[in-house]
């Protein structure tokens, strides 16, 4: 019998969903959540998701009492309050604000890469806007430069909200932009990622091939 009491609107390609799943694995709670896989984009929404989350986005988590949580930041915060181990989101002090700010930058990389994906995969080619695509790509490059500095000491210190976010963002870049070759420009980040991507939580949540 399944021990799942919650349901996660899910797609294995979504880096935001992956972040939630890695949190569940890392805190020993994966079995508490059943996955409902959905396919969606801004031009091809999911009626099931829209019925629960007016923003029409995943991840969205249905709790046992029928209430719903979104977005990924709220969901990982909830998950982090449901286990007895060391929190993956520092509860207070300077560490809290620094780790959440790094996590926010990781989310910005995911946002930019997902928007690039929508522009290139769902928009007719003659309507692609090169300057807009370049602007999104530049956000990613600037963020990777900050992560390269963070990869010397900050990221290796813990696999927490910041490190999980950066790892999921890099995994999504490898999945959607394999031609980017970010490892050449950011070797410290590459060495850190080579190690953390072997964690069971990361191996169990890889994007589809
Ligand atoms: N800020 C949101 C972003 C979630 C997001 O953009 N999800 C994408 C899938 S990767 C989505 O649901 N897109 C559908 C849409 O934009 O209509 C979060 O952190 O959960």
Task: Tell whether 64 is covered by a domain.
Answer: yes
Sheet containing strand 68-69, edge to edge, reads 33-37, 6-10, 60-62, 68-69
Does the beta carbon of 58 lie inside 6 Å of ligand 1?
A: yes
pLDDT of residue 102: 98
Triad 126, 207, 109: Cα angle to 5°: 60
Q: Determine contact, residues 63/7, Cβ cutoff 8 Å.
A: no
Pocket test for ligand 1, best of 9, 46, 58 (most atoms within 8 A of CB): 58
- 190, 100: one domain: yes
- Bond prior to 130 in cis (omega within 30° of 0): no
The pLDDT value recorded for residue 209 is: 86
Ligand 1 contacts CB of residue 53 (under 6 A): no
The answer to whether the CB of 57 is under 6 A from ligand 1 is yes
16 lines ligand 1 (CB under 6 A): yes
Q: Could you tell me if 98 and 192 lie in one domain?
A: yes
Within this chain, do residues 192 and 112 fall inside the same structural domain, yes or no? yes
Mean pLDDT by 10 residues, the chain (209 residues): 87 98 98 97 96 97 97 98 97 98 98 97 93 98 98 97 98 97 97 98 96
Could you give the number of structural domains in the chain?
Answer: 2
Q: Residue 29 belongs to what domain range?
A: 6-80
91-118 core/surface letters (b: 16 or more CB in 10 A; e: else): eeeebeeebbebbebbbbbbbbbbbbbe
The finding on whether 59 has its CB within 6 A of some atom of ligand 1 is yes
CATH of the domain at 130: 1.20.1050.10
The number of the ligand 1 atom at minimal distance from the alpha carbon of 14 is 10
Structure confidence at residue 63 (pLDDT): 97
If asked whether residues 102 and 186 sit together in one domain, one would say yes
pLDDT of residue 2: 63
């Amino acid at each position: 019998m399944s021990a799942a009491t919650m349901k996660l609107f899910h797609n294995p390609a979504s880096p935001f969903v992956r972040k939630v799943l890695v949190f569940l694995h890392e805190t020993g709670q994966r079995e508490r959540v059943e996955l409902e896989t959905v396919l969606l984009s801004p031009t091809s929404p999911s009626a099931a998701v829209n019925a629960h989350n007016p923003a029409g986005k995943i991840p969205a988590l249905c709790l046992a009492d029928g209430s719903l949580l979104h977005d990924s930041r709220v969901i990982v915060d909830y998950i982090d309050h449901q286990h007895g181990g060391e929190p993956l989101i520092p509860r207070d002090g300077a560490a809290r604000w620094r780790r959440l700010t790094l996590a926010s930058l990781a989310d910005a990389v995911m946002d930019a890469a997902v928007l690039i994906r929508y522009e290139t995969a769902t928009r007719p080619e003659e309507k692609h806007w090169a300057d807009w695509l370049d602007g999104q790509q530049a956000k990613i490059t600037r963020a990777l430069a900050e992560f390269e500095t963070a990869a010397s000491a900050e990221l290796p210190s813990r696999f927490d909200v910041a490190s999980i976010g950066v790892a999921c963002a890099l995994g999504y870049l490898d999945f959607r932009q394999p031609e980017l070759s970010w490892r050449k420009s950011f070797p410290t980040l590459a060495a850190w990622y080579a190690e953390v991507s072997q964690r069971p939580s990361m191996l169990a949540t890889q994007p589809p091939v």
